[in-house]
Amino acid sequence: MSNRTLPAWIDIGLIPLINICLAFIVSAGVIMLIGESPLEAVQVMLFGAFGYGEGIGYTLYYATNFIFTGLAVAVAFHAGLFNIGGEGQAYLGGLGVGLICLMLDSWLPWWALLPFAIVAGALFGAAWAYIPAYLQAYRGSHIVITTIMFNFIASALMVYLLVNVLIEPGSMSPQTRSLAEGATLPYMYQVFAAFGIEIEQSPLNVSLILALLACVLVWLLIWHTRWGYAIRMIGFNEKAAVYSGINTRRTIVISMCISGALAAMVGINEVMGAQQRVLLEFVAGAGFTGIAVSLMGRNHPLGIIAASILFGALYQGGAELSFEISTITRDLVVVIQGLVILFCGALAYMLKPTLEKLFLRYTLSKAARRDNLAEEAQS
């Protein structure tokens, strides 16, 4: 293969687009395999996700989680680390948010409680990411394996806590008591109502603003600070980073902690916003979806926002689909998610050699024609 690279628009625009299309084409094949019409499914999904107010609300509510976990994966990725532990970090982060809210919710209104909740959640999530990061940086154990293990440990720990310790007395299901009314995050429809605009009710809450804020902060951190430079340098070439005097071990730990803290913000959206209590499995795979989101969004906040909305639409549209067509359930969304990870991640460069060849042939033939023209003009 030649080292000649493609122009940027093909590399970061066209190739991901083709890969996503491939993932969707295969998904359509799956829908046909189970005897339904892909076109009808797409229609139902699109309408369910964007066709009416409540649908849009749900889409953006799911997207909020995915922005957080997508950013989490991306920050680690810039440092060359693959954080599969978003699920566990979000889970533990939710525990932090829940604990501080349960402690303070009778005294503080939501706007005073929110900073504490963010800090507590971030600390818990970062702490859960710190251990694998420390082990990777200082003891040489592989971060992928340890974060997988930590997902399971987090899950076991949370089941234990919710069943034995934090369970609401007298309750049968493993969940904490509900938060006090004034302590939960306002829904977006309430915010809009305060300005006199009517929108339909949905679990979408002010954490969406927090998510967009996080995107800006991550963008500033990665591309406009010394730390971000160090992080990207490690991801680009760790040896070069060592020789240029960057403390790679400390930077690895820091970027993983930031990653864990970002994943933990799922806890704000779920625990303080939508569910208003800590319950089992509230992360519901958002940590893994974050991987797809980050791969699809090419680790850039703007790409992540777009990919999050797409996945939010898939989740909400998938829910709608399972209402409309009885043979399709939300598991179809899991299939699509797997295919997106496959094509945008593992097979990301499948088409590159082919496109390179096509592009070279095109440019060469253009150059040859130009030369011909020039010769003709001379003669």
Partner 1 sequence: MNDVLLMLVSILDSTIRVSTPLILCAMAGVFSERSGIVDIGLEGKMLAGAFAAAATAAVTGSAWLGLGCAIIVSVGMALLHGFACITHRGNQVVSGLAINILASGLTVTLGIAWFAQGGQTPQLSGDARFAALEFPGAAAVADVPVIGAIYSELLSGHNLLVYIALLAVPLTWWVIFRSRFGLRLRAVGENPQAVDTAGISVAWLRYRAVMCAGLLCGIAGTYLSTAQNAAFLKDMSAGKGYIALAALIFGKWHPKAALFACLLFGFLEALSVRLQGVQLPVIGEVPVQLMQALPYVLTVILLAGFIGKAIAPKAIGIPYNKER
Interaction site with partner 1 (CB under 8 A): 1, 30, 33-35, 82, 84, 131-132, 135, 139-142, 144-146, 148-150, 152-153, 156-157, 159-160, 163-164, 288, 291, 295, 327-329, 331-339, 341-342, 345-350
User: How many residues would you count in the chain?
Assistant: 379
Closest C-alpha to 198, from 50, 49, 57, 51: 57
Nearer to partner 1, 221 or 280 (CB): 280
Instruction: Give the separation between CA 20 and CA 351, rounded to whole angstroms.
Output: 12
Nearer to partner 1, 95 or 328 (CB): 328
Listed in sequence order, the residues at least 6 apart from 197 whose beta carbon sits closer than 8 Å to its beta carbon are none
Q: How near is the Cβ of 43 to partner 1 at its closest, in Å?
A: 19
Q: How near is the Cβ of 327 to partner 1 at its closest, in Å?
A: 5
Instruction: Give the separation between CA 145 and CA 142, rounded to whole angstroms.
Output: 6
Residue 349 CB neighbours (<10 A): 11
Nearer to partner 1, 132 or 203 (CB): 132
Token reading at 371: 């030369």
Q: How near is the Cβ of 55 to partner 1 at its closest, in Å?
A: 22
Instruction: Give the separation between CA 186 and CA 274, rounded to whole angstroms.
Output: 10
Q: How near is the Cβ of 85 to partner 1 at its closest, in Å?
A: 11
Nearer to partner 1, 46 or 335 (CB): 335
Nearer to partner 1, 192 or 323 (CB): 323
Q: For 247, phi and psi rounded to 5 degrees?
A: -80, 90
Residue that the structure tokens 């939508």 belong to: 274
Nearer to partner 1, 6 or 157 (CB): 157
Residue 8 CB neighbours (<10 A): 8
Q: How near is the Cβ of 140 to partner 1 at its closest, in Å?
A: 7
Q: How near is the Cβ of 39 to partner 1 at its closest, in Å?
A: 18
Q: How near is the Cβ of 17 to partner 1 at its closest, in Å?
A: 18
Listed in sequence order, the residues at least 6 apart from 175 whose beta carbon sits closer than 8 Å to its beta carbon are 162, 167, 168, 277, 278, 279, 280
Closest C-alpha to 285, from 301, 270, 268, 305: 270
Residue that the structure tokens 């082990």 belong to: 135
Q: Are 267 and 101 in contact (CB under 8 A)?
A: no
Q: How near is the Cβ of 47 to partner 1 at its closest, in Å?
A: 21
The DSSP annotation for 213-254 comes to HHHHHHHHHHHHSHHHHHHHHHHH-HHHHHHTT--HHHHHHH
Nearer to partner 1, 82 or 359 (CB): 82
Nearer to partner 1, 261 or 339 (CB): 339
